[in-house]
Chain A
Amino acid sequence: MSEKNKTIEEKMGLLNEKVSWFESDEFSLEEAMSRFKEAETLAEEIEKDLEELKNDVVVIKQRFDGEA
């Protein structure tokens, strides 16, 4: 349940890191294309994860009418 959510959040953090490389001093044209493709793949993955995410809704058995 929360596992998948964490992964999405982690992946989003990773994506932001990848994107910030483009603004950083480490940027190099040689690497740019492969890094861009990596970021794009990760973004697609996040979108897919988001679509597939389901909630786990459970109505608890506990009664609250005071008679239980």
Chain B
Amino acid sequence: MANVRLSVSQFIDLTNQTLEYAFGSLEVEGEVSSFKVNQGKYVFFDLKDASGSIGCFMTVWQLRVPIEDGMKVIVEASPKLTNWGKFSLTVRTVRPSGEGALKKSFELLKAKLEAEGLFAVERKRPLPAIPNHVAVISSTDAAGYADFIKILNDRWGGVSVEVAHVQVQGAAAPDQIIRALQHFNTLETLPEVIVIVRGGGSADDLAVFNDEQLVRAIAGSRVPTLVGVGHEVDVTLADLAADVRAATPSNAAQLLVPDRHDIGRQVRATTTRLIPRMLQIIDEAKRRVGQTIVRMFETIEDKVEVVERSVEMQRHLLAQFNPETVLARGYALMRGETTLGATIEVELSRVILKAEVKDVREK
């Protein structure tokens, strides 16, 4: 094979073409060291393991989760020879690898966003008591979505629900969810609430919801947000940035709408509560009527007594005028002419006498 003579630039280009052909895109796992950000735009770090080390380059916009020296990460990158002959990995995405690194990255971002006030309680807006227009961002294939819709339909109705179907795991998921958020935030008629749901998954799956830009998009939404991701124990930064956090997708439906069965029971109770109230009112009325009747009878009795007493007095008085009474006291009643020789009748209490007038004298 004849020697191929190339210019330096040609050689670099050819090398890069060969590398691209050989690797395309690949993932490399290693530990971060010498991490630095230049001019607030460019990110440099080395990826190393026990025996090797390779330089990495990316922009800050591509860095969606915080990383720091000593953290184990997986980068999705293309190998590249620079024009200065330096060999490095051009990184498109970086994600923490393993539980420890995920947790560390989570804590770093959480502290950063917390310091910015993204999770502050005073930023939280209340959801409408009963929404009429709701936007949902989820994967329509996911179990969590099905749970959410089932509970929603079971509890309440009459809601217009617009669903944006997006990926809820994988590297593309955060951007898709962000686009869906932007879509709903720019509608002519804004929904009253945007619900983001996804069922349980591994810490790696749920890492989507710890994506810095997604968390910022949720915090920056004009429309109030309700986030229900994972199982009850899972806390993501998306949860913390949301106006209302639900433990699970089912719980999100519970927080979003009232339960028609509860409302039905309340409505029933509202009217049945009136029954004892009415009975009480009727009893009161009865008692008042009873009292009036008693008072009436008492008044009548009083009046009769007064009349009876007065009649008794009259009767007593009358008795005094009875001639029999006078005779009994020893007086006599005389009938006939008071002339000499006339026969007169004298009535005493017990006997009646006939007598002759023997003498008439002036007193």
Residues of A within 8 A of B (CB): 1-5, 8-9, 12, 15-16, 19, 22-23, 27, 29, 32, 36, 39-40, 43, 46-47, 50-60, 62, 64-66
Contacts and interface: CB of A to CB of B under 8 A. Distances in A.
Interface size class, chain B: 35 or more
Given A50-B263, A60-B163, A65-B167, A4 B158 contact: yes
A47 B263 CA distance: 8
A43 B163 contact: no
Contacts of A8: 158
Main secondary structure of the interface of A (DSSP, over half): helix
B175 to A, nearest CB: 6
A26 to B, nearest CB: 13
Contacts of A58: 160-163
B277 A22 contact: yes
B132 interface: yes
Main secondary structure of the interface of B (DSSP, over half): helix
B285 interface: yes
A15 B158 contact: no
A3 to B, nearest CB: 8
A53 B267 CA distance: 16
B268 A5 contact: no
Given A12-B267, A22-B277, A43-B268, A65 B172 contact: yes
Contact of B163 (A29, A53, A54, A59): A59
A4 B260 CA distance: 14
Nearest to A2: B132
Contact of A9 (B130, B162, B281): B130
Nearest to B178: A64
B296 interface: no
A23 B281 CA distance: 10
B52 interface: no
B179 A60 contact: no
B247 interface: no
Given A50-B264, A53-B157, A65-B172, A59 B140 contact: yes
A44 to B, nearest CB: 9
B202 interface: no
B158 to A, nearest CB: 4
A53 B133 contact: no
Interface string B244-280: 0000000000000000100110011011011101100
Nearest to A66: B175
B176 interface: yes
Nearest to A40: B271
A66 B172 CA distance: 9
A57 B132 CA distance: 12
B164 A57 contact: no
Interface stretch (B148-156, B205-213, B232-240, B301-309): B148-156
B159 A15 contact: no
A47 B260 CA distance: 8
Given A54-B153, A55-B152, A43 B167 contact: no
Nearest to A51: B260
